[in-house]
């Protein structure tokens, strides 16, 4: 099962074989190793940083750290634990982007949602499928913004534990904390986030007036959503058409206590393939010389 964050992951042996082959100079093995994990690392990072461009840059830096540090991997833990610990430490120390600096907490976010006027897109020249696409962009942007209300450590633990269902065993290993500490921090993050959603979000509580579709036009005016360049969701109307019914059923299931589905079932763009960029950086003589990758005195 190739889902590195899952309990049932059976790829540790394959990862180890690829590491050994890569250290022996096999470029194809290194390529395969990177491709096995880059998407999952990006999925964590994009939820941490909100902005896709920042997430792409941070993921590339993480992959460089993993590749250039591969020789130091001693096998004391599995490769996935080692690699995702690098990713976690890197993203926790990543420079704060513009949006993250603005979102100072749940009170701020609550105020900003209220400032987005409830407006219908009916007056706009927008096809029905495109309206759903823009509403989906608003939904993912808003849910991603809610995560920014948590401090970085809480946010990362929530993303690992709630979105990707990482166990306390693996989560504790990745973050270098005890299983009990991981569970406690996850519980606090859930409590804070879901308390806000119960009082504000129409997806979580139908009694709340806030609706993604009604906030979309305001989000466009505020620059949060750009109809010509969607940040989060694939710009394929057909994708929205096919998944509309499935999402409707999903939202029915999440009403009540199943808030995690809102964060897991998001129709996001696929992660970028950073392998070509990584190759170019690693082959640059100045970069290799700076890190002494060729072992020259």
Whether the pLDDT of residue 293 is over 90: the answer is no
Residues 25 and 126 in one domain: no
For 265, phi then psi, to 5°, come to: -90, 75
Taking only the tens place, the pLDDT of each residue in 247-284 is: 444 434 443 446 777 887 776 777 788 888 888 877 76
Residues 76 and 87 in one domain: yes
Average pLDDT in the 38-51 region?
95
Taking only the tens place, the pLDDT of each residue in 46-98 is: 999 999 999 999 999 999 999 999 999 988 899 999 999 999 999 999 999 99
**Tokens 């620059």 — which residue?**
223
Residues 293 and 253 in one domain: no
Looking at residue 254, its pLDDT comes to: 40
Whether the pLDDT of residue 246 is over 70: the answer is no
Taking only the tens place, the pLDDT of each residue in 1-16 is: 478 999 889 999 999 9
Q: Which residue has the higher pLDDT, 121 or 152?
A: 152
Whether the pLDDT of residue 103 is over 90: the answer is yes
* Neighbour-count burial of 235, counting CB atoms closer than 10 A to its CB (0-12 exposed, 13-18 middle, 19+ buried): middle
What's the pTM? 0.83
Looking at residue 287, its pLDDT comes to: 57
Taking only the tens place, the pLDDT of each residue in 133-173 is: 899 999 999 999 999 999 999 999 999 999 999 999 999 99
Do the Cβ atoms of 225 and 134 come closer than 8 Å? yes
Residues 254 and 113 in one domain: yes
Q: At what angle are helices 79-92 and 168-175 packed, to 10 degrees?
A: 60
Residues 79 and 172 in one domain: no
Do the Cβ atoms of 68 and 284 come closer than 8 Å? no
Residues 114 and 79 in one domain: no
Residues 48 and 13 in one domain: yes
Per-residue confidence at 288, pLDDT binned at 50, 70, 90? Answer: low
Average pLDDT in the 108-113 region?
96
Per-residue confidence at 132, pLDDT binned at 50, 70, 90? Answer: confident
CATH code at 10?
1.10.1740.10
Looking at residue 242, its pLDDT comes to: 44
Residues 234 and 204 in one domain: yes
Q: Compute the distance between CA of residue 116 and CA of residue 143 in angstroms, rounded to an integer.
A: 15
Contacts of residue 208, Cβ cutoff 8 Å, sequence gap at least 6:
199, 200, 201, 202
Whether the pLDDT of residue 239 is over 50: the answer is no
Looking at residue 45, its pLDDT comes to: 97
Q: Which residues span the domain enclosing 76?
A: 1-100+271-297
Do the Cβ atoms of 291 and 68 come closer than 8 Å? yes
Residues 77 and 133 in one domain: no
Looking at residue 59, its pLDDT comes to: 96
Tally the domains of the chain: 2
Helix, strand, coil distribution of the chain in percent, nearest 5: 65, 0, 35
Residues 115 and 236 in one domain: yes
Residues 59 and 156 in one domain: no
* Neighbour-count burial of 122, counting CB atoms closer than 10 A to its CB (0-12 exposed, 13-18 middle, 19+ buried): exposed
Taking only the tens place, the pLDDT of each residue in 179-238 is: 999 999 999 999 999 999 999 999 999 999 999 999 999 999 999 999 989 999 885 443
For the chain, the first-to-last Cα distance in angstroms comes to 43
* Neighbour-count burial of 206, counting CB atoms closer than 10 A to its CB (0-12 exposed, 13-18 middle, 19+ buried): exposed
Whether the pLDDT of residue 112 is over 80: the answer is yes
């Amino acid at each position: 099962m190739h889902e590195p964050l899952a309990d049932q992951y059976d790829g540790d042996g394959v990862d180890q074989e690829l590491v050994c082959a890569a250290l022996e100079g096999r470029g194809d093995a290194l390529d395969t190793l990177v491709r096995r994990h880059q998407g999952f690392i990006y999925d964590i990072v994009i939820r941490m940083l909100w902005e896709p461009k920042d997430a792409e840059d941070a993921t590339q830096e993480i992959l460089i750290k993993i590749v250039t540090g591969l020789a130091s991997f001693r096998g004391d833990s599995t490769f996935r634990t080692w690699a995702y610990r690098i990713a976690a430490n890197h993203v926790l120390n990543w420079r704060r982007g513009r949006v993250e600096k603005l979102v100072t907490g749940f009170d701020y976010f609550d105020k900003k949602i209220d400032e987005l006027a409830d407006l219908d897109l009916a007056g706009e020249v927008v096809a029905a499928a495109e309206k759903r696409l823009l509403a989906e962009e608003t939904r993912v942007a808003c849910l991603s913004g809610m995560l920014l209300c948590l401090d970085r450590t809480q946010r990362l633990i929530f993303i690992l534990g709630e979105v990707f269902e990482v166990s306390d065993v693996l989560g504790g290993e990745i973050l270098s904390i005890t299983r009990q500490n991981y569970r406690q921090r996850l519980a606090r993050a859930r409590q804070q986030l879901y308390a806000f959603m119960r009082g504000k979000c129409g997806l979580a509580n139908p009694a709340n007036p806030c609706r993604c579709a009604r906030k979309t036009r305001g989000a466009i005016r505020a620059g949060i959503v750009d109809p010509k360049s969607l940040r989060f969701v694939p710009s394929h109307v057909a994708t929205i058409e096919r998944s509309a019914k499935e999402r409707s059923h999903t939202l029915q299931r999440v009403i009540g206590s199943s808030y995690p589905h809102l964060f897991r079932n998001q129709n996001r763009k696929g992660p970028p393939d950073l392998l070509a960029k990584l190759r170019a950086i690693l082959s640059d003589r100045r970069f290799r010389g700076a890190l002494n990758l060729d072992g020259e005195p």
